[in-house]
Structure 1
């Protein structure tokens, strides 16, 4: 898929990040496990605009950019976007998403020199458990709403079926 404009007319082009802590500069074509934003949008069923917004608010930063400034994403970046996509219909805010991602990022650092100590690990697991509880509660609320909506649709359908006169 070719990079360029989305339906709103925005382009993916941005100035490459040249800071040492920013994304790596890459050749003009995706490679080495990197994909362009258009492919990410197709895989995640998120719009280009949404993916860019998540970058702007710091939820998912592309792992690299081409020399031309196009965003490049890895499988881990895509997995992060999928987690966000799954949280959205449950009504989690961007701040809540950020909190969960920070906790899971720290937990994923378990085999690194910067691994959380026992107390931090327990706190992080409690954060994830709280999110699980909230997600399960919200799923149940959505199921109840869907059941009521189904009842409503069935009631309308019953009104449309002709009843023989009297």
Structure 2
């Protein structure tokens, strides 16, 4: 990281999250601006953007704010130093559980998507049949 700070608008553009959503995640303790400008504006780093991207990816999979907070805590601690082997293994186990949950949610979403695509295809075929019948 080069230490570059970004204002919330740039972070919103990069993460495709609204300013309101970023502020909500800040209030929920998921991300805290790394600094404030002299004028009091929130300033974020690349690491803050990475945290918001984790949250953004977890949201459509149905993870709660508490689960997001727990995963971010585990990954923050894994990235830190001074862990005993037991602590590291415990944190890895927590992350593995989220990995498994995410994979299960993705599988469910794939089934839902396939059903939605089938439905849309059925409607399209019905429209086509009726247009062809009307043209005859």
Report the TM-score, using the length of structure 1 for normalisation: 0.76
RMSD: 1.6
Task: Please give the alpha-carbon distance, in whole angstroms, between the structure 2 residues aligned to 1:58 and 1:95.
Answer: 10
Aligned equivalent of 1:153: 120
Counterpart pick for 1:123 among 81, 86, 90: 90
Aligned equivalent of 1:21: none
Within a 5 Å distance, the mapping from 1:27-38 to structure 2 comes to 32-38=3-9
Q: 3-state SS of the aligned residue for 2:80?
A: helix
Within a 5 Å distance, the mapping from 1:61-140 to structure 2 comes to 61-110=32-81, 115-140=82-107
Cα offset for 1:164? 3.7
Cα offset for 1:159? 1.3
Task: Please give the alpha-carbon distance, in whole angstroms, between the structure 2 residues aligned to 1:98 and 1:116.
Answer: 20
Unaligned runs of 5+ in 2: none
Task: Please give the alpha-carbon distance, in whole angstroms, between the structure 2 residues aligned to 1:136 and 1:103.
Answer: 18
Cα offset for 1:116? 1.6
Report the TM-score, using the length of structure 2 for normalisation: 0.92
Within the alignment, does 1:44 sit opposite 2:4 as a pair? no
Within the alignment, does 1:53 sit opposite 2:20 as a pair? no
Cα offset for 1:158? 1.3
Q: 3-state SS of the aligned residue for 1:72?
A: strand
Unaligned runs of 5+ in 1: 1-31
Task: Please give the alpha-carbon distance, in whole angstroms, between the structure 2 residues aligned to 1:53 and 1:164.
Answer: 53
Larger proportion of helix: 2
